[in-house]
């Protein structure tokens, strides 16, 4: 079972250090040139998995040595300050390296040097007040803390896994977090509209026009959709559905101009799967190019998609960008 570590950063110097190594990626030269050649293969793998080098570190004190020593790959890190949890990442490796720490964070006389450093995945920004998880965590930690085993046991009992706890209590509900509960927002919007609208038989023609317009918009930019239909041979990338009228052009990264119309930023998906993909209920593991589904879909007919291999175009330049798919997965919290 993964552990959870809380790293408070309420001091201005600590938040300055966050800018150097967690909010922004570390210059790879500062990392590579300050480790031994023997560490190079490990560092390259950390850089690949982390989408760059991101790290945090602790001053060398007996208390910190003990906590740092118990930290393992796959453990969870939550960075807190100003009354809220602001960053979430997973541990990729730990090293005792004063030279690298000085290169990354500078030198302040020795007492606060972060030589007990650890690399993490690219952090996901959060904004979750302490009180939102006070049923499991204390309301504000003043020093680097490992969440006790009895609390982890309770989390595992309540949620099944630590990762599921993080997804449900931090990633899917944190105000300003990577993914708000979009399905809930949509449901609220639909209910509000229902209260305002009444049936008018005379509006049926306009309603049909609105439906057609909605379908066209939902299917995606026409040329973009045509290119995806050709690339995927008129079949859904997830199911193989070959009914063209049910297939839509899904953006992996939301539309932000013409450059996002490239097929590498798209998937041809059946309409229902397009919706679930946009809601962050389905993502793709780029290591195996298989589907990952959210916990709430495991109790539905969509559970058969879990672990299913993706279909993708034969032409390499038409295939979906793994960087874009990884970013979508991180934002979805899957």
Using one digit for the tens of pLDDT, what is the confidence trace for 274-283? 989 988 899 9
Using one digit for the tens of pLDDT, what is the confidence trace for 15-24? 889 999 998 8
Domain annotation covers residue 205: yes
* Residues 165 and 230 reside in one and the same domain: no
Count up the domains in the chain and report the number: 2
CA distance 280 to 293: 9
* Residues 202 and 151 reside in one and the same domain: no
* Residues 136 and 224 reside in one and the same domain: no
Q: What is this structure's pTM? A: 0.56
* Residues 163 and 198 reside in one and the same domain: no
**Neighbouring-strand partners of residue 26:** 53
Using one digit for the tens of pLDDT, what is the confidence trace for 216-241? 444 456 788 888 999 999 999 999 99
Domain annotation covers residue 12: yes
* Residues 217 and 162 reside in one and the same domain: no
Domain annotation covers residue 176: no
279 or 293, greater pLDDT: 293
* Residues 26 and 158 reside in one and the same domain: yes
CA nearest to 264, candidates 307, 308, 217, 327: 327
The secondary structure of 153-212, three-state, reads HHHHHHHCCHHHHHHHHHHCCCCCCCCCCHHHHHHHHHHHHHHHCCCCHHHHHHHHHHHH
Domain annotation covers residue 140: yes
Read off the CATH number of the domain in which 50 is found: 3.10.590
Task: State which of 171, 193, 228 marks the end of a domain.
Answer: 171
Using one digit for the tens of pLDDT, what is the confidence trace for 30-51? 999 999 888 899 999 999 888 8
* Residues 16 and 143 reside in one and the same domain: yes
| 112 band by pLDDT with thresholds 50, 70 and 90 | low
Domain that holds residue 131: 4-171
* Residues 103 and 224 reside in one and the same domain: no
Task: State which of 171, 198, 224 marks the end of a domain.
Answer: 171
Q: Is the pLDDT of residue 260 over 80?
A: no
């Amino acid at each position: 079972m993964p552990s959870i570590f809380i790293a408070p950063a309420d001091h201005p110097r600590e938040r300055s250090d966050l800018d150097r190594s967690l909010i922004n990626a570390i210059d790879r030269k500062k990392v590579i040139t300050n480790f031994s050649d023997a560490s190079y293969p490990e560092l390259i793998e950390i850089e690949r998995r982390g989408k760059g080098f991101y790290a945090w570190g602790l001053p060398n004190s007996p208390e910190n040595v003990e906590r740092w020593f118990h930290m393992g790959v796959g453990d969870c890190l939550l960075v807190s300050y100003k009354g809220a949890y602001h960053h979430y990442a997973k541990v990729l490796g730990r090293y005792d390296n004063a030279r690298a720490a000085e290169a990354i964070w500078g030198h302040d006389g020795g007492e606060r040097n972060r030589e007990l450093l650890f690399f993490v995945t690219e952090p996901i920004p959060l904004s979750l007040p302490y009180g939102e998880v006070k049923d499991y965590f204390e309301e504000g930690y003043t020093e680097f803390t490992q969440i006790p085993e009895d609390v982890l046991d309770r989390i595992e009992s309540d949620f099944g896994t630590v990762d599921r706890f993080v997804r449900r209590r931090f990633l899917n509900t944190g105000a300003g977090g990577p993914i708000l509960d979009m399905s809930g927002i949509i449901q609220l919007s639909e209910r509000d509209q229902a209260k305002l609208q009444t049936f008018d038989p005379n509006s049926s023609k306009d309603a049909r026009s609105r439906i057609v317009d909605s379908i066209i918009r939902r299917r995606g930019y026409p040329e973009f959709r045509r290119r995806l239909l050709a690339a995927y041979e008129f079949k859904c990338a997830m199911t193989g559905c070959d009914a063209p009228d049910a297939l839509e052009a899904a953006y992996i990264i939301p539309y932000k101009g013409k450059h996002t119309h490239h097929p590498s930023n798209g998937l041809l998906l059946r309409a229902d799967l397009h919706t679930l993909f946009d809601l962050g209920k389905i993502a793709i593991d780029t290591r195996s190019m298989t589907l990952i589904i959210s916990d709430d879909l495991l109790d539905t007919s969509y559970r058969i998609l879990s672990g299913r291999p993706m279909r993708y175009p034969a032409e390499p330049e038409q295939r979906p960008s793994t960087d874009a798919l990884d970013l979508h997965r991180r934002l979805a919290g899957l």
